[in-house]
Structure 1
Amino acid sequence: MTQTENRCRLVLVAPEIADAAQRAGVVADALRGGDVASVIVPQYGLAADAFQRHAEALVPVIQAAGAAALIDGDTRIAGRAKADGLHIAGTAEAIGEAVEKHAPRLIVGAGNVTSRHQALEIGDAGPDYVFFGRTDGDVKPEAHPKMLELAEWWASMIELPCIAMGGTDVQSVVSVAATGAEFVALRLAVFADPAEAALKVAEANALLDEKAPRFDAE
């Protein structure tokens, strides 16, 4: 395993920016800051045609940086944009249908998981990961305590990887990593000031390098 592969890694949630080219530019800048495992691209209320334009602008930028591009919710747009996968905030049944239809050709992740019961049901549906919290759930500097508890419980019991939503402060990656979660997601902590996005990614990776527990090599 490499330095980053054996500890919690960073996942970015693309910011809400109306102009597709500007949004892609901001994400590209952030990805220059260091290791990012994947970028989730939310729709943020865009109409389908506008969301497709955004996806087509963002996906190649994300992939060029070596990260996986995950489209939130829309399987058709994910296919048209040649994304690496889907992030679906749905029922266990919806996740199972997506897995059956799209895996392993596409990554299928389960989002907005907020309880143990829901996590176990969705885990049985066979996604590639479960995401504790909402992609826009970074409302305080620290990660939500309930999401930390869920991530710690899951990571201690289940081999299926999990992502936990961090807070609006980059320092929140430390508490997420301490749960044993494989990934920590950041949105506003990186993108609140687009000019500092690359610096924030670099800071997050430095914190994870220094403080995240290491996973055992297999």
Structure 2
Amino acid sequence: MPSTPPRQSTCSITLVTPPLSATSAPAFGKVFAEVLAAAPIASARVRFAPGAEGVAKAIIAPLLKASAAADCALILDGDPRRAARLGADGAHVDGAGEALDEALDSLKPERIVGVGGLKMRDDAMTAGEKGADYVMFGEPRGAAPPMALELLLERVGWWADIFETPCVAYAESIEAARRLARAGADFVAVDDAVWGAPSPAEAARALHAAVARAAAEAP
């Protein structure tokens, strides 16, 4: 994945991991590899459980191997220096302030810098103007108060009509992902809709089919 992804005519998939710890990561790594083998996944955002930062290298080692084999960019939450040190493809930070400035200074142009936690339209515009590689609307459950789907659809449509910086939209379900892709999202970000399914690999295939169908439905 290039350090500055081009705007694309179809929507791609990014997966958001559950918060991982040293104990949960080995089993998750196996499921992660199965999902990446089941459907095209453009990128994956890795979240860490509280207190797990010190074992980040062990947590992401199997994920790096699987993502490299599947041509999937691996993006780490939080400290951008950790992303560079561990060989990840980039970092995801919250807000358009100092954290974003630090990430841009330390990672660009070699690595991806994405930003979420953008509550206001002005925040997203500022992030885009500063040079973020993508802006994310909506957040995984527990990370922030959820954004209603109708508001999220409106925000994605507004961004897609005006701005060139790619946008990622968080989807709580496969149907929400289809609607967000149809609204103009460059990427849909999914977590529990895949990881919480009886078969995450089957869910990933269904997600890919739904997003591909949205391209045909787009006005």
Please report how far the alpha carbon of residue 138 of structure 1 lies from its aligned counterpart in structure 2 after TM superposition.
9.3
Residues of 1 paired with 2:94 and 2:49: CA distance?
A: 14
Gaps spanning 5+ residues in structure 1: where? none
Q: Which of 125, 128, 136 is the matching residue for 2:130? A: 125
In the TM superposition, what whole-angstrom CA distance separates every residue of 1:164-216 from its partner, at most 9, and x where no partner exists?
Answer: 0001x2121111112111010000000013x511111111111122222589x
TM-score, scaled to structure 1: 0.86
- Matched residues in 2 for 1:158 and 1:178: separation? 17
Counterpart AA for 2:207: A
Question: What secondary structure sits across from 1:165 in the alignment?
Answer: strand
Query: 1:79, 1:203 → 2: CA distance?
Result: 33
Tell me if structure 1 keeps the 8 A contact 2:20–2:52.
Answer: no
Describe how 1:1-218 pairs up with structure 2 within 5 A: 6-18=9-21, 19-136=24-141, 144-167=149-172, 169-193=173-197, 195-212=198-215
**Pair 1:90–1:53, CA change in 2 (3 A):** farther
Letter in 2 for 1:114: K
Q: Structure 2 CA distance, aligned partners of 1:187 and 1:87?
A: 15
Identical residues among aligned pairs (%): 32
CA distance in 1 between counterparts of 2:122 and 2:80 reads: 26
Match of 1:119, as an amino acid? A
Counterpart AA for 2:162: M
Matches of 1:165 and 1:138 in 2, distance apart?
12
- TM-score by structure 2 length? 0.85
For residues 76-116 of structure 1, the C-alpha deviation after alignment (integer angstroms, 9 at most, x for no partner) is 32123210111111333321231122111110001122221
Cα 1:138–1:34 change in 2 (3 A) is farther
Distance 1:148 1:12 in 2: 19
Over residues 25-46 of structure 1, what are the superposed CA-to-partner deviations in whole Å (9 max), with x where a residue is unaligned?
1111111221111000011323
How many residues align? The count is 207
Gaps of 5+ in 2: 1-7
Please say if residues 166 and 176 of structure 1, whose CA atoms lie closer than 8 Å, have aligned partners that are also in contact: yes
